[in-house]
Amino acid sequence: MTQTDFPHTFAGLMALVTLLRGADGCPWDREQSAQSMRRYVMEECYELMEAIDEGAPAAVAEELGDVAFHVAFQIRIWDDEGGFTESEVFGSVIEKLIRRHPHVFGGATARGADQVVTAWQSLKAAERGASSIMDGVPSGMPALAYSQALQGRAAGAGFDWEEPAAVAEKVVEEVVEMGAASDEGERERELGDMLFSIVNLARWLRVDAESALRGAAARFRRRYELMEAISRERGQEFASLSADEKEALWRQAKASLVTPDPPHRPE
């Protein structure tokens, strides 16, 4: 078979995956299970998020392709084992999207995006027979994203601050309490409360906390690597520089990398 046997569509990708998993395909692909591929799925999702943050269309397209491959691969594995078929996967999500958009496909109305989110969560909880509005928030999410999701659920039920100024005051209060902590356990709890309050402030500012921190970490890394590069160009070892010299390099690196990051909005 040649590349032309696989059209550049999801159907073409499924055909290719079916070949790879088949008797005349790849031994490694045939040996894989849903569980053995789990970590690769996670890695590709993180690589896609990084490409989206960078904003490079070619990189996003490539990473979307990798994620799509893993979707196709999981479908093929589960279909081979009699778990479900491709049509069940897409039928399920299509039916769910229609059901959760009654303002598009039914007689409901939505005055704005916030009302859509609130209605979505209510419908989702009703479908699952949830005993709590927090049901369905995956505890395995990164801590910042998990915190923001929990706060969003609570806000959707009306448990929220009235204005962002009050949230900012809560952050200051938590900083003070952390400073007054007397032992390691208390410091950890107070630091957690402070971080949780900062995440809540991010939600109020319509900033995705996870993306904001990743952006800050990325800026720090770029600046640090530039400091190292400047040191090498000068024939200096960065670690041996004085604190004042390192601070001067930091200011130089920061001034050289002034391109702002694109804004991140919560889902």
Q: What percent of the chain has pLDDT over 70?
A: 95
Q: Which of 219, 217, 241 is nearest to 228 (CA)?
A: 241
Domain count, the chain: 2
Domain-embedded: residue 90: yes
For 129: left if phi > 0, alpha if psi spans -120 to 50, otherwise beta; the answer is left
- Rounded Cα–Cα distance for residues 158 and 166 (Å): 16
Position 266 pLDDT exceeds 60: no
Degrees (nearest 5) of the Cα angle 227, 229, 233? Answer: 115
pLDDT for the residue 54: 87
Position 261 pLDDT exceeds 70: no
Position 117 pLDDT exceeds 90: no
- Rounded Cα–Cα distance for residues 206 and 267 (Å): 9
Domain-embedded: residue 112: no
Domain-embedded: residue 239: yes
Q: How confident is the model at residue 40 (pLDDT cuts 50, 70, 90)?
A: very high
Q: What DSSP line would sit under 159-223, residue for residue?
A: -S-SSHHHHHHHHHHHHHHHHT--SHHHHHHHHHHHHHHHHHHHHHTT--HHHHHHHHHHHHHHH
Position 131 pLDDT exceeds 90: no
Domain-embedded: residue 247: yes
Which of the listed residues 97, 118, 153 is the one where a domain comes to its end?
97
Q: Which domain holds residue 14?
A: 3-97
Which of the listed residues 97, 128, 150 is the one where a domain comes to its end?
97
pLDDT for the residue 260: 52
Domain-embedded: residue 124: no
Residue 69: give its domain's CATH number. 1.10.287.1080
Q: What percent of the chain has pLDDT over 90?
A: 73
Which of the listed residues 97, 127, 147 is the one where a domain comes to its end?
97
For the stretch 1-13, pLDDT in tens is: 666 789 999 999 9
pLDDT for the residue 153: 87
Q: Give the burial class of 81: count Cβ atoms within 10 A of its Cβ; 0-12 exposed, 13-18 middle, 19 or more buried.
A: exposed
User: To the nearest whole number, what is the mean pLDDT of the chain?
Assistant: 91
pLDDT for the residue 158: 87
Those residues with Cβ within 8 angstroms of residue 18's Cβ, 6 or more apart along the chain or in another chain: 76
Please check whether residue 217 is in contact with residue 227, taking contact to mean a CB–CB distance below 8 angstroms: no
Domain-embedded: residue 21: yes
- Rounded Cα–Cα distance for residues 225 and 194 (Å): 30
pLDDT for the residue 3: 67
- Rounded Cα–Cα distance for residues 183 and 189 (Å): 10
Q: How confident is the model at residue 259 (pLDDT cuts 50, 70, 90)?
A: low
Residue range 132-145: mean pLDDT, rounded: 88
Domain-embedded: residue 119: no
Longest dimension (CA), the chain: 71
Domain-embedded: residue 169: no
pLDDT for the residue 264: 46
Report the run of H or E that residue 40 belongs to, with start and end: helix 38-54
| pTM of the model as a whole | 0.67
pLDDT for the residue 125: 79
CA-based torsion, 114, 115, 120, 126: positive or negative: positive
- Rounded Cα–Cα distance for residues 123 and 101 (Å): 10
Please check whether residue 95 is in contact with residue 76, taking contact to mean a CB–CB distance below 8 angstroms: no
Residue range 172-187: mean pLDDT, rounded: 94
Where are the extended beta strands (E) located within the chain?
none
Please check whether residue 194 is in contact with residue 252, taking contact to mean a CB–CB distance below 8 angstroms: no
pLDDT for the residue 1: 63
Which of the two residues, 129 and 99, has the higher pLDDT score?
A: 99
